[in-house]
Amino acid sequence: MAKGCSNQNKLQNCCPVERTLDLIGGKYKALILWNLVGKTLRFSDLQREVTAATPRMLTKQLRELEEDGLLSRKVYAVVPPKVEYSLTELGESLRPILESMYIWGTAFLHKQGRTPCCSMKELPKIQEH
């Protein structure tokens, strides 16, 4: 059952809950996904949002998310370089999970007497389809 499975093409978890966590549980991954919900951002934008991540780590997490089909990376052949990241349909389908985590986490932080550092204000309306 997937020892040390960390998104390599090793043996992967087949428990749905664990499998989901494999995809979104990596360092900075949830934060990256959360920032990309309904938006397209460039690498430097993401660096600004995920301040704790070094370029190296940010790149690594983005590549893994791309491999797993959760986001797409669009490279423009211009100078200076321009790369845009956005969620795929599969990535957008994580939205309910991310939102319920956001809601739960907000309540939890308040119970601890702490203040959430990122708000939901810029999150677009949920689109039914």
Q: Mask: binding to DNA, 15-34, rule CB under 7 A, as x and -? A: -----------xx-------
Q: Mask: binding to DNA, 80-99, rule CB under 7 A, as x and -? A: xxxx----------------
Q: Which is nearer to DNA, 3 or 129 (CB)?
A: 3
Q: Which is nearer to DNA, 18 or 42 (CB)?
A: 42
The DSSP code sequence of 48-71 is HHSTTS-HHHHHHHHHHHHHTTSE
> Site for its own copies (CB under 8 A): which residue of 7, 31, 62, 85?
31
Give dist(CA 46, CA 23) in Å, integer: 19
Give dist(CA 107, CA 112) in Å, integer: 9
The DSSP code sequence of 71-96 is EEEEEE--SS-EEEEEE-HHHHTTHH
Asked if 54 interacts with DNA (CB under 7 A), we say yes
> Collapsing DSSP states into helix, strand and coil, what is residue 40?
strand
Q: What residue ranges bind DNA (CB under 7 A)?
A: 3-4, 6, 26-27, 42-45, 52-57, 59, 62-63, 73, 80-83
